[in-house]
Chain A
Amino acid sequence: MMPSVSTMQGEAQPPCQVTCPIHQDVRGYIVAVARGEFSEASKLIMETNPLPSVCGMICAHPCETKCRRGQVDEPLSIMALKRFVVEHADHGSPKLQGESEQGQKVAIIGSGPSGLTAAHDLAKMGHKVTVFEHENAPGGALRSGIPKYRLPREVLQRDLEAIIALGVEIKTNTELGKDLTIGGLKNQGYRAILISTGLPLSRGLRVPGIELDGVLLALPFLREVNLDRQKIQVGKRVIVIGGGNVAIDVARSALRLGAGRVHMVCLEAREEMPSFPWEIEAALEEGVQIYCSKGPKSILGKDGQVTGLECMRCTAVFDAEGRFNPSFDKGEVSVIDGDMVIIAIGQASDLSFLKDSAIKLNEGGQLLLDADTLATSEEGIFASGEVATGPGSAVEAMANGRKAALSIARYLTGRPLAVAPPAEIELGELSPQIIDKIKRLPKQQMPALAVPERVQNFVQVELGYDRASAVREARRCLSCGLGTEYIEEECSTCLTCVRICPYGVPIITASGSVDIRVDQCQACGICVNECPAKAVILKQYQDEEVIERITTAIANASRSGVRPLTVVFWCSFSAYATGDFAEFVRTKCPSNIGILTIPCVTKIGIIHLLKAFELGADKVFVVGCPEEYCPYKESTSWARRKVDRAKKILDDVGLGAERLEMFNLPNVDIEQEEVLFKITQPAKQTQPDPLNG
């Protein structure tokens, strides 16, 4: 396995990592997927993400919006790749740092993503964490809000179990304010308390007809559906008020519960809707009808039962100062008929548990917090997640929980709470000239259930990538910032790199030196093995490691004593990584063949080929991908040049050029036997290398 490619300290980071609220090493795990190293990918994900399975399915994935591949064609499907890793890798058990000497009792109120992240982090630091949860099962809005067709509960359970395995205790059916008090917790010896109670209340509407039968609020509705409390009866024609993610979840859930027709009504124009665009698409596909730029005027009824919604046109959602302050054209009224209205216009906190406490609130009636440390006005009490920040996404709540955990840890060990966050440098944008030259690679589509199969039940809609599409999708990553490192003192300014880079990355500077622009480099590696001064190295693939790996491959292959001893330099992407094939090579490959994966044949140097012979190989193969599938340009021709020169040397030293062969796979899905035949057959005719007597 190749060493991990995690970001080095102090280097500019790719935008995906900078944008991710919990700074996942996105690039690192995607590159690992591209190489077929799924366990390595899993390790990188778990290092910073306590809810990897959940995030693989419902994350708001702001990283994708900033992905630099998006400047070329479409961004990477980062979330889908995370899901793939979680579903396909061996994870190993979570690393416990063990109970620390200074481990202290911490109480966390609320088991949503924020509370769980804080619990995870504090437990890993050795503290004794108890999470108190009002509902009958942990997970917060992940369980009570997000419908199962987006997040199956066994997925949530998988992440919960890993957190519990760290020693976190979760007590359900326990409500702060009713079963517990802050003072009581302190008396029980909890040295710090974190309030992460989310926004459990649904906002209502002040319109005529609100009291009618058949008018529901979103969160209680979703809670009933999701917590299987009782079989909910939905109307035949359901109207959902709201344009956010919660409204969409309500609408799609109502469809699945048997509503013949679901209409959504929102203030915003289509492009202003706060919901994720992919959620809106899915709802439309399933037949939800969305009425935009409409506000509720009154709920109509007959005999105490809802019959429809009277709407007026919303002319603007925000006022001149950009505040939410909708204005309406009261003259333009329309009626949508229906027998059930579900209101999904926002969530609010419930701080009633603070009644008798001294914890201070701000003017808006929310918790008064120190923005840097998340400390409340009372010592040892902190708050995180949506109760602290207002509505947001799960991963933001997680990041906030992590921030609180760090403050709490400092508090518990008597250190000053506030520390400056590390400065982050983000890689610059790709330049238009470079974008023009990057190969376009289509995004791998996510397979999904057909609409008629979806709307009958709560089965998960998105099916997830298989190995081949995951590897292909991961190959689209531009490995931003992970390309070359240029050592100016070594450079002879021969300008070779300037001349040969297929993307035009190296440039001549005003002072006459060369600059291989790290933020533009595509990491193909062509210049690395061409630079005559060895002034360019690849951050993820250096000579010493390669030679070490050749040594290991040869040692493994020679253990069997079978000749000819064969070394195969195999492109780790595509066919090799797509799974079954790698498995085949692993299990059925003759024992005299040592396989060495390389991130594209462009990274082969003549010295690597010669080293294999020097170390005793009888026969060496270089196997590349089909050119049209390679994300890089000119990969085959540059690799071929090196192979040809090495062949000439082999002739000159008397070993014979025929000992070295290179071929490209004719296509990705080629018959496995056929590929292996090419490697095993000619090798059989090779005389043992006299070097290896």
Chain B
Amino acid sequence: MIVGKQKPLPEIREMIADYGNILILGCGTCATVCFAGGEREVDILASSLGIAAKLEGKERVTTKHTVKRQCEWEFLDEIEEKVKQADAVLSLGCGVGVQAIAERFPEIPVLPGLDTLFMGMPVEEGVWVERCVGCGNCILNQTGGICPIARCPKGLINGPCGGYRDGKCEVDPTRDCAWVLIYERLKKMGRLDMLHTSQPLKDYSKMGHPRSITR
């Protein structure tokens, strides 16, 4: 899933400063699951902005709505009327959602309420970690199911570097070295032999933007 984080409130306040009537739009899929922009966060943000506006002595109207997924135009049809009433849409969806809204409603400003961060998963309640960068050229079969591009800060495909200490990464010693993890996993699988051949240079052109696929 896509993981994002709500922007700091001061930044959001600055972004909306020029608009009096705002539609705060939540997303019911990834943004809900990572607690960045579901129906509850929409409520909290609306209330927070309401307090802020009063403090600034501003007149501000906020409307709340949450769609199933912001990244599908069909799901956006239901907000058409609300969009017409608003001066701007403050999206609590990921960057894809923001753009989908912008494309569906070309005449209205769409403001990103989140910083979209990564593709990842929760490892414990409230903690999400990055697992995949979408390189377009997956090598997990050769790295013990652990992605060195997403999980090694240097993205080494033939690691580890010389800097790891006691299994930890030199860039961030609180984190496990991805290559040590790969080694341990391959050992468990009895496939350390896979480390004997080095990976060919990676074709990063597959990561070139913008990408698309056609069914």
Contacts and interface: CB of A to CB of B under 8 A. Distances in A.
Contacts of A653: 9, 13, 48, 51-52, 55
B205 to A, nearest CB: 36
A490 B67 CA distance: 11
Contacts of A499: 124-125
B55 A492 contact: no
B47 interface: yes
Nearest to A646: B44
B208 interface: no
Given A614-B47, A652-B8, A653-B9, A532 B52 contact: no
Interface stretch (B32-40, B73-81, B159-167): B32-40
B169 to A, nearest CB: 27
Interface in B27-58: 28-29, 32-33, 35, 38-41, 43-44, 47-48, 50-52, 54-55
A492 B50 contact: no
Given A653-B52, A690-B55, A691-B54, A532 B41 contact: yes
A147 B101 CA distance: 79
A582 interface: no
Contact of B47 (A492, A493, A500, A610): A610
B10 interface: yes
A607 B51 contact: no
A546 B81 CA distance: 30
A418 interface: no
Contacts of A316: none
A611 interface: yes
Given A531-B40, A607-B43, A649 B48 contact: yes
Interface in B93-120: none
A652 B10 contact: yes
| Chain A CB within 10 A, most for which of B38, B39, B48 | B48
A532 B33 contact: yes
Nearest to A535: B39
A406 B114 CA distance: 63
A532 to B, nearest CB: 4
A652 B9 contact: yes
Contacts of A531: 40
B40 A610 contact: no
Interface in B127-186: none
Size class of B's contact patch?
Answer: 20 to 34
B51 A655 contact: yes
Contacts of B40: 529, 531-534, 607
Interface string A520-556: 0000000001011110000000000000000000000
B167 to A, nearest CB: 27
Nearest to B1: A494
A606 interface: yes
Nearest to A609: B47
Contacts of B47: 607, 610-611, 614
A607 B50 CA distance: 12
| Chain B CB within 10 A, most for which of A499, A532, A649 | A532
A652 B8 CA distance: 8
Given A531-B40, A534-B39, A610-B44, A492 B51 contact: no
A490 B124 CA distance: 23
A494 B27 CA distance: 13
B28 A533 contact: yes
A518 B52 CA distance: 39
A532 B32 contact: yes
A532 B55 contact: no
A613 B51 contact: yes
Contacts of A334: none
A533 B66 CA distance: 9
Contacts of A611: 47
A492 B32 contact: yes
B38 A691 contact: no
A71 interface: no
B50 A614 contact: yes
Contact of B48 (A532, A534, A610, A691): A610
B29 A492 contact: yes
A432 interface: no
A614 B32 contact: no
Contacts of B52: 653-654
Contacts of B32: 492, 494, 532-533
A691 B58 CA distance: 11
Nearest to B29: A492
Given A500-B125, A649-B9, A691 B55 contact: yes
A500 B39 CA distance: 19
A496 interface: yes
Nearest to A490: B39
A652 B12 CA distance: 11
Nearest to A605: B40
A494 B41 CA distance: 14
A136 to B, nearest CB: 67
Contacts of B41: 532
B5 to A, nearest CB: 13
Contacts of A607: 40, 43-44, 47
Given A654-B52, A654-B55, A691-B54, A532 B44 contact: no
Contacts of A690: 55
Contacts of B13: 653
Given A492-B29, A652-B8, A690-B55, A532 B35 contact: yes
A500 B122 CA distance: 13
A492 B38 contact: yes
Contacts of A606: 44
B36 to A, nearest CB: 9
A641 to B, nearest CB: 9
Listed from nearest, the 6 A-B pairs whose CB atoms lie closest are A532-B38, A652-B9, A494-B33, A610-B47, A653-B52, A492-B32
Given A492-B28, A531-B40, A610-B47, 6 more contacts: A492-B33, A607-B47, A610-B48, A649-B44, A653-B48, A654-B52
25 contacts: A492-B32, A492-B38, A531-B40, A532-B32, A532-B33, A532-B41, A533-B32, A533-B38, A534-B40, A607-B40, A607-B43, A610-B47, A614-B47, A649-B9, A649-B44, A652-B8, A652-B9, A652-B10, A653-B9, A653-B13, A653-B52, A655-B55, A690-B55, A691-B51, A691-B55
Interface of A: 490, 492-494, 496, 499-500, 529, 531-534, 606-607, 610-611, 613-614, 649-650, 652-655, 690-691
